[in-house]
Amino acid sequence: MVATKLEQKVAELEKALAVQAETEKALIQAKEEWERSFEAIGDIAMILSPELRVTRANRQAYVALAGESGQELVGRLCHEVFHEEGPPCAGCPVLLARHDFVGHACEIMHKNLGRIFQVSVSPILDGEGRVLSFIHFAKDITAQKEMEQRLNQAEKLEAIGTLAGGIAHDFNNILTPILGYAEMMKMELARESPAWQHLDQVVNAALRAKELVQHILTFSRQQEHQRLPMAPHHIIKEALKLLRASIPTTIEIRQNINAESGTVLADASQIHRIIMNLCTNAFHAMRKTGGVLAVSLQPVHIERDDPKVNGLVLTAGHYVVLEVSDTGCGMDKMTLAKIFDPYFTTKEKGEGTGLGLSVVHGIVKESGGYISVYSEPGKGSTFRVYLPRIVSPSITEAALSRRPMPRGTERILLVDDDQAIVDLETMMLKFLGYRITAMTGSKEALQLFQQTPRDFNLVLTDMTMPGLTGAELSLRIHAIRPEIPIIICSGFSELIDGDKARELGIQAFLMKPVLHKDLAEAIRKALDGVQNSEKKS
C-alpha cells in the first residue's frame, strides 16, 4: 500500500518535472525568440529603467549610436545617448511618458551624428499601473526629411519661377521702348557728342537689365546651362550692386575687381549664383556683429605644386580667382569638413536650406574649377574659387557696331498687343526702308492676312498676346502660306523657345528687348533665305 502511494507520488513528481521542463523549455524558447526579434528590429530599440537608464539595446542601436567606438550603451541615461549632454530636451517623450503613463513621440536631432530620428516611447506597467520600464524606439528619418526639404525647395522654386516669368515678360516689355528709343536717338546724333555718350550708357544699362532678367529666369527655373567664353567681372560687379541694396550698412563691402582678369568658359547665371551664395553665406556670418565683406577678382598663374593654393590639386596654368572673405564668426574643423555637404547648415531653422555652399561646389566642379576655404573660429572665413582662364579672340565691338544695318523695302505684318512696342518697332522698321502694317490684335491680324495673304513678305509677331499666341498665329498663317517667313519676339514665355520655334517652322526667335541691329539682321536673313529658296526652285 505504501509502495503504491510512493509510486504514485514519484509518478506525479516525474510528471510535474516533465511539465516544468517543458515550461522552462518554452520559456527559454520564448526568451530566445524575443531576443532574436528584438535584435532583428531594423530601427533603434532600447529598454529603459524607470530612472531612464538603458538596460537593453538591440544591435541596430549599437550600429547607429555607438558606431566604430563600440561605446557601451547599457547604463547610460537615454538623453546622454541621443544628445551627448544633459538635461533632457524640452518635450522629451520619455519624461512625458513617465508623467502620464501613455506613449509619446517626437523628432530629435542627434548633434554629433548629424542625423534626425523619430523617437517613440511607451511605458511598460505592472498589474497595479506602476512603471516597470519603458520601450524606446528611434527611426532614422534623415533621408525622408531631406526628401521633404528637396520637395519643399522644388515647390518654392516653382512658385518663384512662375512669379519670375510674369515679371520677366512685363519687365522686358518695359525695357523694349527704353532700349529702342535710345538707339533711335543715337542714330540722329554724332558719335562724339555728349548726348550720344549718355544714350550709350542708357543702352548698356538696358542690356544689363535684360541679362539680369535672364539670370533670374535661369536660376528660378533650373534651366539648362550653356557654357560660353565670358569675362566674369561684369557679373561680379552687378551682383555686388544687388547685394549692397539688401545687406545692412553695418557690413562694409570692399571690392577689388580686376577688369583685365581674363575670360573663362562658364554660364553667366552660374557665375552669378556663385558670388551671390558666397556673399550671402558671409553676410549670415556677420549679421549680428557687422564687419567687412571683401570680394576680389584677379588673374593668377599657378605653378605645379604651388604652395599658395592651400593643398588643392590644381593643374598648372592660368586661372581667374574669385575671393570672398568675411570677418565673421569663422568655423571650426568639424564644420569645415561638412560645409559642402547638401543640407548641412549652421543657420537657425528657417534661415537657410543648407544648399548654398553645396551648390557653389557643384557649379565650380562642373565648370572645371576648384574651390578652397580657410577659416578659424573668431577669425572669419575666406573662400577662393579658381576658374581656368581661356584664350579668347578679342571682339571688336566698335567695329561691329559701325557695320551698317541691313535694309529692305519688303512688306512686313507687325503684330504686338503693346501699343508702345508697336509704335517703336514701326518707327525702327520704317527707318530701315520696310513697309509696315501694324496690328495690336492677333485675331484681327489673322483676319487681315486671310483676306490679303500675298500682301506681306514677312510676319513679325509677339508671343504672349490675348486671343491667339504668337505660336498659334504662326501655325494659322503657315496653313495659308507655308513659305512666308515668321519671326517671333517674346518678353518671356514657357510655351516656346528657340528649339520649339524651329520645330514650328519659325525663322527666328528673339528675346525682348531686341537691339535694332539684331532685329534688322534677323529680318534680312529671313527674307533672303526665302528669296534664295525661290531662286533655287
Beta strands 131-140; 44-48: pairing state: antiparallel
C-alpha cell at 326: 568675411
CATH number where 304 lies? 3.30.565.10
Residue 469 maps to which CATH number?
Answer: 3.40.50.2300
Burial of 5 (0-12, 13-18, 19+ CB in 10 A): exposed
The strand ranges marked E within 14-53 are 44-48
Backbone angles phi, psi at 433, to 5 degrees: 100, 0
Among all chains, which residue has been given the C-alpha cell 545692412? 248
Taking the C-alpha atoms of residue 327 and residue 71, their distance in angstroms, rounded to an integer, is 39
- Cell numbers linked to 106: 517626437
What's the pLDDT tens digit per position in 43-95? 888 999 988 888 888 888 888 887 655 578 888 888 788 766 667 777 788 88
Specify whether 237 is located in the same domain as 373. yes
One domain, residues 367 and 425: no
pLDDT in tens, 282-331: 898 898 888 999 999 999 988 776 666 555 667 778 899 999 999 988 88
pLDDT of the chain, 537 residues: tens digit per residue: 666 777 787 777 878 788 888 888 888 887 778 778 888 888 888 999 988 888 888 888 888 887 655 578 888 888 788 766 667 777 788 888 888 888 888 888 887 777 888 889 999 888 888 888 999 898 989 888 888 877 777 777 677 667 777 777 788 888 888 988 888 898 888 888 889 988 888 888 888 788 777 766 665 554 556 678 888 998 898 888 878 878 888 999 999 999 888 899 888 878 888 898 899 888 988 988 889 999 999 999 887 766 665 556 677 788 999 999 999 888 887 777 777 765 455 555 444 444 567 778 888 888 788 888 888 888 889 999 999 998 654 444 444 455 678 999 999 999 999 998 999 999 999 999 999 999 999 999 999 999 999 999 999 999 989 999 999 999 999 999 999 999 999 887 667 777 788 888 899 999 888 888 899 999 999 999 876 665 555
Q: What is the pLDDT of residue 16?
A: 79
In a domain, 45, yes or no: yes
Range of the domain at 22: 1-36
pLDDT of residue 395: 45
Q: How far apart are CA 509 and CA 272, in angstroms?
A: 25
- Same domain? For 309 and 375 the reply is yes
Q: Which amino acid is at 511?
A: M
One domain, residues 260 and 294: yes
Q: What is the value of pTM for the model shown? A: 0.53
Asked whether residue 256 falls in the same domain as residue 388, the answer is yes
Inter-residue contact 487 to 458 (CB < 8 Å): yes
Q: Exposure pattern of 354-366 as b/e (b: 16+ CB <10 Å)?
A: bbbbbbbbebbee
Q: What is the length of the chain?
A: 537
Q: What residue type is 286 in one-letter code?
A: M
| DSSP secondary structure of 441-494 | -HHHHHHHHHH-GGG-SEEEEESS-SSS-HHHHHHHHHHH-TTS-EEEEES--S
Do 301 and 328 have their domain in common?
Answer: yes
Distances in whole angstroms, Cα of residue 110 to Cα of each of 47, 63, 65, 209, 370: 19, 14, 9, 46, 32
Query: Is there a single domain that holds both residue 331 and residue 410?
Result: no
Are residues 285 and 407 part of one domain?
no
Q: Is 305 left (phi over 0), alpha (psi -120 to 50) or beta?
A: left
CATH number of the domain enclosing 111: 3.30.450.20
Say whether both 464 and 368 belong to one domain: no
